[in-house]
């Protein structure tokens, strides 16, 4: 972790979802129609209710998922919807940062739920009129940890000399649905995952722009050895098949206390310095595990619980929704942004709300 000064500054952060909002009850009813045998298993009957999600956004209406779709069709839908979302949000983030597209000299783009080559950042450069010389850093495969990792890499680009970095994350988890997958992992995924995107602008501190909302102090990445089977995709004919093979809440309990302590110590911070927590809500059990191992109260995690309730788990994007809610509430002072994801990995970012 590098705590160099002057500090990169976040000038804007905006979020958005696709137009099709569904209640958890609607999605559960559809899931029961897709997989009646899974719905009848007593061990799985409480999954939707225990998720503590009320509604979520999907890229397509429920009737679309009732029809068979090839991997190619799903991915085409991903590219179409991802472009619509990221184009709108990125343009808004640049405006709210008090900049023009010509001011952006680097683009970081995070996603894990669809494939595009050229990557989506190339399309954004042309669509928004960014400089064709803008540096491009597409990050694929980080899953739920990607929101934190992408923010850290955007800050690293500013430290390396870039003046204004556009950071975009987009995940359309619903489009990875595989109707042939009658596994408990798929059932859990149906109960948790949703679609969304976020865009932000991170700049050098002396750039003439909108007032800064956040300073980025440093970050720490941790990869657990021999843990690739814990979470990820298995690529099958029907698309990207979700994989969970171990208890992620248990890993939070095993890893997070020491990881957070090491992150703070490397920066010369202590727990007493932290005024807020931006934690990726991977699920209700994950948040409960964070609370237990880090001795956090419901008030400490209110934004994570609210985003989970209203939006579900949008993979990498979710922690950026949490951060947006915290900034909108007027938090000030030092905080920690935390997420875990495939690898299996943990990402911690030290931040300061201004």
Stated as kind and residue range, the H or E segment containing 243 is strand 239-244
User: Does 220 reside within a domain?
Assistant: yes
pLDDT in tens, 118-161: 999 999 999 999 999 999 999 999 999 999 999 999 999 999 99
User: Does 2 reside within a domain?
Assistant: no
Same domain? For 87 and 147 the reply is yes
User: Does 1 reside within a domain?
Assistant: no
Domain extent at residue 297: 214-353
User: Does 3 reside within a domain?
Assistant: no
Q: In the chain, what percentage of residues exceed pLDDT 90?
A: 78
Same domain? For 106 and 158 the reply is yes
Catalytic position from the list 38, 144, 165, 256: 144
| Rounded Cα–Cα distance for residues 325 and 335 (Å) | 14
Same domain? For 162 and 18 the reply is yes
Residue 144 annotated as catalytic: yes
b/e map 146-169, b = 16+ CB within 10 Å: bbbbbbbbbbbbbbeebbbbbbbb
**Number of domains composing the chain:** 2
Local structure of 136: helix, strand or coil:
strand
User: What's the whole-number mean pLDDT along residues 287-306?
Assistant: 95
Last residue of a domain, one of 159, 175, 203: 203
User: Does 208 reside within a domain?
Assistant: no
User: What's the whole-number mean pLDDT along residues 211-221?
Assistant: 96
CATH classification of the domain holding 117:
3.40.47.10
Q: Is the model's pLDDT at 231 over the cut of 70? A: yes
User: What's the whole-number mean pLDDT along residues 21-46?
Assistant: 90
Q: What is the per-residue pLDDT for 277?
A: 98
Q: What is the per-residue pLDDT for 3?
A: 44
pLDDT in tens, 250-269: 788 888 899 999 999 999 99
Q: Is the model's pLDDT at 64 over the cut of 50? A: yes
Q: What is the per-residue pLDDT for 1?
A: 43
Same domain? For 56 and 176 the reply is yes
Mean pLDDT across the chain, nearest whole number?
A: 93
* pTM for this prediction: 0.95
Same domain? For 163 and 55 the reply is yes
Same domain? For 283 and 136 the reply is no
Same domain? For 57 and 182 the reply is yes
């Amino acid at each position: 972790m590098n705590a160099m000064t002057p500090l990169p500054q976040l000038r804007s952060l905006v979020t958005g979802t696709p137009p099709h909002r569904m209640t958890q009850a609607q999605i559960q009813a559809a899931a029961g129609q897709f997989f009646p045998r899974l719905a009848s298993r007593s061990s799985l009957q409480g999954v939707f209710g225990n998720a503590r999600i009320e509604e979520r956004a999907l890229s397509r209406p429920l009737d679309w998922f009732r029809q068979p779709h090839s991997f190619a069709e799903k991915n085409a839908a991903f590219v179409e919807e991802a472009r619509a979302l990221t184009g709108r949000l990125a343009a808004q983030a640049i405006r709210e940062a008090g900049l023009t597209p010509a001011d952006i000299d680097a683009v970081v783009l995070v996603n894990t739920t669809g494939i595009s080559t050229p990557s989506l950042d190339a399309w954004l450069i042309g669509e928004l009129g960014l400089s064709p010389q803008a540096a491009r850093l597409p990050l694929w495969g980080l899953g739920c940890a990607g929101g934190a990792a992408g923010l850290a890499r955007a800050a690293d680009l500013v430290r390396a000399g870039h003046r204004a970095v556009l950071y975009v994350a987009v995940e359309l988890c619903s489009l990875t649905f595989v109707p042939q997958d009658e596994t408990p992992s798929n059932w859990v995924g149906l109960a948790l995952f949703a679609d969304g995107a976020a865009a932000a602008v991170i700049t050098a501190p002396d750039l003439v722009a909108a007032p800064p909302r956040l300073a980025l102090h440093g970050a720490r990445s941790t990869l657990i050895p021999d843990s690739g089977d814990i979470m990820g995709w298995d690529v099958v004919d029907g698309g990207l098949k979700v994989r969970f093979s171990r208890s992620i809440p248990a890993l939070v309990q095993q890893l997070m206390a020491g990881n957070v302590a090491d992150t703070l110590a490397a920066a010369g911070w202590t727990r007493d310095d932290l005024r807020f927590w931006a934690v990726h809500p991977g699920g209700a059990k994950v948040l409960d595990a964070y609370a237990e191992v880090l001795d956090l109260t419901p008030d400490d995690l209110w934004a994570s619980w609210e985003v989970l309730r209203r939006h579900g788990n949008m993979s990498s994007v979710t922690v950026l929704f949490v951060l947006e809610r915290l900034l909108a509430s007027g938090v000030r002072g030092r905080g920690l942004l935390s997420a875990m994801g495939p690898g299996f990995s943990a990402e911690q970012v030290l931040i300061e709300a201004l």
